[in-house]
Structure 1
Amino acid sequence: MARLAIALTPAYADWEIGMLTAVARSFLGAEIVTASPDGAPVTSMGGLKVTPDSAYGDLVPTEFDALVIPGGMIWGTAKAPDLVPLATAFRSESKTVAAICAAASALAGTGLLNSVAHTGNALAAHQAYPAYRGEALYRDQPKAVSDHGVITAPGTAPFTFTVEILKALDLWTEEAAAEMAGFGAEFR
């Protein structure tokens, strides 16, 4: 069974991971573990109140297959948690790390996007982080990008973000494709 760690923040963008968590958990049997910076409850942008399973620091990368980081209003502010220890710990164990929207820019700030193809809301948002040097690998496109275990997406791409994560975790089965086909019907 696949295990996904979801790194939540106050005011996280709940819709960016809603499809992933529903399909992975309910249809594919994956285990979802939520964490916040300090383990305290968080409220999403949409007002969903979540009591996380743990704090970021309690996540053990070897016990998971992926780290997923949704966007939200906190990224790019002084209140944003430091993603460097968490993201680099998961990547040092060759675990999938996926970030969408403003979280993709925060991931750029860890330096992890400097050597893989990636995308996000805008190149300029990534360039606001001094550790980012991956401009040549940035893909200005409306769909998620997956490269060597790192998945990024603009905030407008929760569908392809979900698909790329499922593929990376070998969860992209006929059942997953059939379930996701309904969610993507409007894009045909």
Structure 2
Amino acid sequence: MTRIAIALQNDFADWEPALLMAAARYYLDCDVVTASPDGAPVVSMGGLKVTPDIGYDAISADAFDALVIPGGYAWEKGVAYDFTALATAFRDQGKVLGGICAAASALAATGVLNTVAHTGNALASHQRYPTYQGAAHYVDQAPAVRDGGIVTAAGSSPDTFAIEVLKALDLYGPEAEAELSTFAAEHRG
């Protein structure tokens, strides 16, 4: 069974991982595990109170197939978790690593985006971090970008982000496509 860790923290953007979590758990029978820095409850930007399954210390690339980090206001408040060790471990073990919105910039801060195609809310957000040296690989105005097992997206693209994470996990088939395409229908001209 595919195991996906969703790394939540206070003020996470609740809509960003929601479609992925629902599709993976309900339609694809994945084990979707929520985590917070210390395993304590967190509150999303929308006020959703989540009691996570585990703390970040229980997340390892040996135990999970993917680490997905939603964005949110923790970075703007200066209280976000430093994902460098986790992101590097997942990348180094060839596991799926996903960051959307501010979390894409958090991945930029870890250096894991320096040599792969990626996107996010804006290149300038990534460039705030001195360890980020991947501007040549930034894909501007893409809803989501997947390069190997690394998936990034703008905060406005939770559906495309979910699709690309599932593709990276080799789980995007007819069931996932049928479910997620209904959400993307809103954006068709």
TM-score (norm 1): 0.97
Query: How far apart, CA to CA, are the structure 2 residues paired with 1:94 and 1:180?
Result: 25
Q: Which residue in the other structure is 2:186 paired with?
A: 186
Contact residue 116 and residue 147 of structure 2 kept, 8 A: yes
Tell me how many residue pairs correspond in the alignment.
188
> Does 2:53 align with 1:53?
yes
Secondary structure (helix, strand or coil) at the match of 1:176 reads helix
> Does 2:41 align with 1:34?
no
Instruction: Identify unmatched segments of 5+ residues in structure 2.
Output: none
Secondary structure (helix, strand or coil) at the match of 1:184 reads helix
Deviates more, 1:4-13 or 1:172-181: 172-181
After TM superposition, list the pairs within 5 Å mapping 1:30-179 onto structure 2: 30-179=30-179
Contact residue 142 and residue 157 of structure 1 kept, 8 A: no
Deviations, residues 68-123 of structure 1 (Å, cap 9, x unaligned): 00000002443111111111121121111000000100110000000000000000
Contact residue 148 and residue 168 of structure 2 kept, 8 A: no
Deviates more, 1:74-83 or 1:108-117: 74-83
Query: How far apart, CA to CA, are the structure 1 residues paired with 2:30 and 2:173?
Result: 13
Query: How far apart, CA to CA, are the structure 2 residues paired with 1:60 and 1:176?
Result: 26
| Segments ≥4 residues shifted beyond 2 Å | none
Query: How far apart, CA to CA, are the structure 2 residues paired with 1:181 and 1:80?
Result: 32
Deviations, residues 4-25 of structure 1 (Å, cap 9, x unaligned): 0001010100000111111110
Displacement after TM superposition at 1:148 (Å): 1.7
RMSD over equivalenced CA pairs, Å:
1.0
Displacement after TM superposition at 1:60 (Å): 2.0
Deviations, residues 118-149 of structure 1 (Å, cap 9, x unaligned): 00000000000110000000011241000021
Give the letter for the 2:82 counterpart: D
Give the letter for the 1:40 counterpart: A
Q: Which residue in the other structure is 1:20 paired with?
A: 20
Displacement after TM superposition at 1:152 (Å): 0.3
Deviates more, 1:148-157 or 1:72-81: 72-81
Contact residue 57 and residue 86 of structure 1 kept, 8 A: no
Give the letter for the 2:161 counterpart: F
Query: How far apart, CA to CA, are the structure 2 residues paired with 1:59 and 1:106?
Result: 17
Query: How far apart, CA to CA, are the structure 2 residues paired with 1:124 and 1:181?
Result: 31
Query: How far apart, CA to CA, are the structure 2 residues paired with 1:29 and 1:134?
Result: 35
Deviations, residues 17-66 of structure 1 (Å, cap 9, x unaligned): 11111111011111101111111110000111111111111112111110
Percent pairwise identity? 60
Query: How far apart, CA to CA, are the structure 1 residues paired with 2:108 and 2:60?
Result: 22
Secondary structure (helix, strand or coil) at the match of 1:61 reads coil
